[in-house]
Structure 1
Amino acid sequence: MKRTLIALSALLPAFAFAHTGHDAGMHHGSAFLEGFTHPFTGLDHLAAMITVGVWSMLSFRHSPRAALASPLAFAGLLLAGGIAGFAGVTIGGVEPMIAASLLVLGLMVALQVKLPASAGAAIVGAFAIFHGLAHGAELPAARAAAALTGMLLGTLALHASGMLIARFGLARNVWLPRLAGTGVALFGLSLLAA
């Protein structure tokens, strides 16, 4: 498992230049690849999706089925929001809700909040709709199904990364999750204040 985490970490720098419009046309030939890399391109989305995996693994270490509830709920409702955003649905307050998701998710990790799996899934799922709306509005118009599929798989990869980080790093020290969660919460607070 450690080798897998190291291999995944080695891939992260490749996504740093994958944002739509900032890649000199490099990804425009592949809607799937553009969709896959899109969740990696915004620090707010990246932090939220990894934090979902972290919280889920820290909360349900001994119950793999329960640990998957929040990441799967987030991914499913992100896809629903992505489809709506792609179709042109707009809702006011998308960016503040994304910032609020960072604040809430960060606090859940920092304070080591324990919730039933269904309650955790409901909270992250509600925030996922707003992340999906933002992503869906930015995906390429051509080959929507491929772009949305890529976005979903990229999101799941980030959740899995968060779960691996929690399992092999944060879970071994009581203060690391608190520090990481506090950092995410402060990031969300700074976005809300901006």
Structure 2
Amino acid sequence: MIRPARAGLLAGLLALAPSLAFAHTGVGDAHGFAHGFGHPITGLDHVLAMVTVGIFAWQLGGRAVWAVPATFVALMAAGGALGMSGVELPFVEIGIALSVVVLGAVVALGVKAPLAAAMAVVGLFAIFHGHAHGAEMPEDASGLAYGAGFMLATTVLHLAGLGLGMLIGRFGETHGQAWVRGAGVAVAAAGVMLLAGAV
């Protein structure tokens, strides 16, 4: 079995491979990084899903705290490579909206999934998010810089979710989980509205 760290490195290299076709220097690199970083944080669907991945990882605890977000970033990078390369993936917008619904629901229900199952679920949805990022890369951007940008932004959003989970958890021993689950309900409801718009 491939370790998550090795899988992340491999997927990262795959995501950066299209940069050979989009290689630019100077302004292109800065342009690519800025657009790559901005894409996940300017879309409500991406923000909700990625922050919720962090909250879900915090709820699971243990190795999931790093393995679940790392899996998302790794497979998102692979999806990004597909998008940059022009490979079609059906139902991308529906997959992204469903990710918000499902991730919100698992947080709301406090699902204690086995680590492998949690990684599989977030990894599947990450491919859709990554494909959307890659497909929307500006033509004059550096693929290397663009990929690095959206991977970094995603990591920041996962860390925000982990931090939010910890913060709410420490808010009160008796009510912390209720607040987290309430946040999950709100995310799932937002996902249903996004899904209705995507269908």
- TM-score normalised to the size of structure 2? 0.79
TM-aligned CA deviation for residue 188 of structure 1: 1.0
3-state SS in 2 of match to 1:179: helix
Pair 38,169 (structure 1): closer, same or farther in 2 beyond 3 Å: same
Which string of whole-angstrom CA distances, capped at 9 and with x for unpartnered residues, describes residues 55-93 of structure 1? 101111xx2x33111100000000000111011111221
Q: 1:67·1:117 contact (CA, 8 Å) conserved in 2?
A: no
| Preserved CA contact (<8 Å) 1:35 1:149 | yes
The corresponding residue for 2:36 is 35
Partner of 1:180 in structure 2?
183
1:114 alignment partner, SS class: coil
Report the alpha carbon displacement of residue 189 of structure 1 after superposing the two structures with TM: 1.0
Secondary structure of the equivalent of 1:58?
helix
Pairwise CA distance, 1:145: 0.7
What is the match of residue 154 of structure 1? 153
Correspondence for 1:118: 116
Is the 8 Å Cα contact of residues 34 and 149 (structure 2) preserved in structure 1?
Answer: yes
* Equivalent position amino acid for 1:38 in 2: H
Structure 1 alignment gaps of length 5 or more? 1-26
- CA distance in 2 between partners of 1:174 and 1:51 (Å): 14
Query: In structure 1, what residue type is equivalent to 2:168?
Result: G
Q: Give TM-score, length-normalised by structure 1.
A: 0.81
User: Alignment RMSD, CA only?
Assistant: 1.6
> What amino acid sits opposite 2:143 in the alignment?
A
Pair 1:140 & 2:138 matched? yes
Instruction: Please name the residue that 2:51 is paired with.
Output: 50
Query: In structure 1, what is the Cα distance between the partners aligned to 2:132 and 2:110?
Result: 28
Alpha-carbon contact 2:168-2:180 (below 8 Å) kept:
no
User: For residues 135 and 166 of structure 1, what CA distance do their matches in structure 2 show?
Assistant: 26
> What is the alpha-carbon distance in structure 1 between the residues aligned to residue 59 and residue 51 of structure 2?
12
